Amino acid sequence: MSDAGEFPAVGRPTGELLDELRAERAGDLDWRSGRAFSLVYNVDDPELEALQHEVASMFLHENALNPFRYVTLLRMESELLGMVRSLFGAGAAGLSSGGTESIFLAVQTARDEAAARGVFDPELLCASTAHPAFPKACKYLGVEFRPLPVGGDGRADPNRFAEAISDRTALVVASAPSYPFGVIDPVTDLAAIASSAGTLCHVDACLGGYLLPFWERLGEPVPPWDFRVEGVTSISADVHKYGYCFKGVSTILYRDRDLQQRQLFMYDSWPGGLYASMSAAGTRPGPPIAGAWATMTHLGESGYLRLAERVRTATRGFRSGIDGIDGIRVTSDPDLSVFEFGADPESSTPVDIGAVGDVMDDRGWNLDRQQGGLHVMLSPGHDRVVDAFVSDLGDAVADHGQARGGGLAYGGVVES
């Protein structure tokens, strides 16, 4: 291994590098095992995975910065956007590198819409459960971030929004669902509040966007959250989450094409020719476009339904298993396959949920810690581990010691 921080004086042979990485990676978290709960969505479909590897390597070096140079990428992107528009009934759709970039674009569009009506000190209203991409976008884009407390059910409280909204509100945000508790905010109410104040409403469906349409088609109760709700002006939905593509691709959707035009950047006041782009990225890698196109084309509605059914089986199994263990409970009443569970304050059995997480870690589970408990995000592959999880969790709750006090990290920074 090279010393950290030293630029290699001489290159190393490929075989040696690959051997080193293979050996090191063998100790990394194995997301295919069903014992990891975030960051990677385990589709448990070797054929789809092989297809993704193939198309990613096929387009590994292509750049979609100028889509007219790589016409196969152009065709795939156009078809992909058509599929996405029809799935969500959107007026316009675009790609980005991930949920955070899609959210940045929605906030930038809202900021510029507000400026067009004379608001130069814009603010954004959301529930305190909204993803950190919102305060981050606000920080970068000069928008005041105003998170509001949620109600007892973990959902945004429309009364708080009605009180807080002002002439300066550039964007009202709802989550479908929120990351911490997996609950869908009351989108109809929030969109109506935004619309009667003459402002925009964004639904952050980064997490649920590509699962909710199929969840609904399975007959599950799904509260209104998409463009069928009047007043919803934009939606973010990540293909690299429940869209089941590998990382690097999200979609940003608008009800109206005019709104999307706020993202357009064109520049020719330099000697290098016309530069035009619709998102924050300049160079755009080929693999996410090819991967998203191939994934959606291969799965189709029937494939997404099949996978949604597996997620539902896993969700039912995990939830009923947790419900059956005295001393713990699922927080709120999640609408989807993402949730928190923690100590049940109404139970006479005292449970230190951090210590339960430690025992689960020791047994090879990798549950993320939140302030109020442990976080679960279920993929299709989790339907294989329901019994093992519930059995280990039962043991961990019955027999836990002192919490080791592990961190609450959701994201991290590499020091340089």
Ligand X SMILES: Cc1ncc(COP(=O)(O)O)c(C=O)c1O
Residues 152, 154, 158, CA angle at the centre, nearest 5°?
A: 80
Subset of residues 372 to 391 that bind ligand X, contact rule: CB under 6 A: none
127 versus 343: smaller Cβ distance to ligand X? 127
DSSP structural state of residue 36: B
99 versus 334: smaller Cβ distance to ligand X? 99
Whether the Cβ atoms of residue 268 and residue 324 lie closer than 8 Å to each other: no
Report in angstroms how near the CB of residue 244 gets to ligand X at its nearest.
14
375 versus 400: smaller Cβ distance to ligand X? 375
Which of 105, 148, 191, 207 touches ligand X by CB under 6 A?
A: 207
133 versus 253: smaller Cβ distance to ligand X? 133
Which residues 6+ apart lie within 8 Å of 244 measured at CB?
Answer: 41, 43, 48, 210, 295, 299, 307
Buried b (16+ CB within 10 A) or exposed e, 377-409: bbbbbbbebbeebbebbbebbeebeeeeeeeee
Report in angstroms how near the CB of residue 274 gets to ligand X at its nearest.
30
Subset of residues 222 to 251 that bind ligand X, contact rule: CB under 6 A: 238
Count residues near ligand X (CB under 6 A): 11
Based on the shown chain and the rule CB under 6 A, indicate whether residue 154 belongs to the binding site for ligand X: no
Rounded alpha-carbon distances, angstroms, from residue 30 to 49, 364, 376 = 15, 10, 16
Is 226 buried (19+), middle (13-18) or exposed (0-12) by CB count in 10 A?
Answer: buried
- Joined together, the tokens standing for residue 190 give 């929030």
100 versus 234: smaller Cβ distance to ligand X? 100
CA 300 to chain centre: 21
Based on the shown chain and the rule CB under 6 A, indicate whether residue 133 belongs to the binding site for ligand X: yes
Report in angstroms how near the CB of residue 293 gets to ligand X at its nearest.
19
SS3 of residue 337 by DSSP: coil
Report in angstroms how near the CB of residue 148 gets to ligand X at its nearest.
17
161 versus 179: smaller Cβ distance to ligand X? 179
- Joined together, the tokens standing for residue 2 give 């090279």
Based on the shown chain and the rule CB under 6 A, indicate whether residue 206 belongs to the binding site for ligand X: yes
Name the residue among 267, 280, 268, 273 with its Cα closest to residue 101: 280
Name the residue among 64, 88, 89 with its Cα closest to residue 78: 64
Query: Among the candidate windows 202-210, 221-229, 263-271, 283-291, which touches ligand X by CB under 6 A?
Result: 202-210
Which of 131, 319, 329, 375 touches ligand X by CB under 6 A?
A: 131
- Please name the residue ranges forming H helices in 142-278: 158-164, 187-196, 212-217, 257-260
Query: Among the candidate windows 76-84, 204-212, 257-265, 329-337, which touches ligand X by CB under 6 A?
Result: 204-212
Report in angstroms how near the CB of residue 76 gets to ligand X at its nearest.
21
Q: Could you write out the DSSP letters of every residue in 145-178?
A: EEEE-B-TTSSB-HHHHHHH--TTEEEEEEESS-
Nearest residue to ligand X by CB is 99
Report in angstroms how near the CB of residue 162 gets to ligand X at its nearest.
23
Number of helical H runs and strand E runs in the chain: 12, 13
x/- binding map, residues 75-114, to ligand X, per CB under 6 A?
A: -----------------------xxx--------------
Query: Among the candidate windows 162-170, 201-209, 291-299, 318-326, which touches ligand X by CB under 6 A?
Result: 201-209
131 versus 400: smaller Cβ distance to ligand X? 131
96 versus 260: smaller Cβ distance to ligand X? 96
Give the C-alpha separation, 262 to 254, whole Å: 11
100 versus 332: smaller Cβ distance to ligand X? 100
x/- binding map, residues 156-175, to ligand X, per CB under 6 A?
A: -------------------x
Whether the Cβ atoms of residue 254 and residue 90 lie closer than 8 Å to each other: yes
Report in angstroms how near the CB of residue 356 gets to ligand X at its nearest.
23
Binding site for ligand X (CB under 6 A): 98-100, 131, 133, 175, 179, 204, 206-207, 238
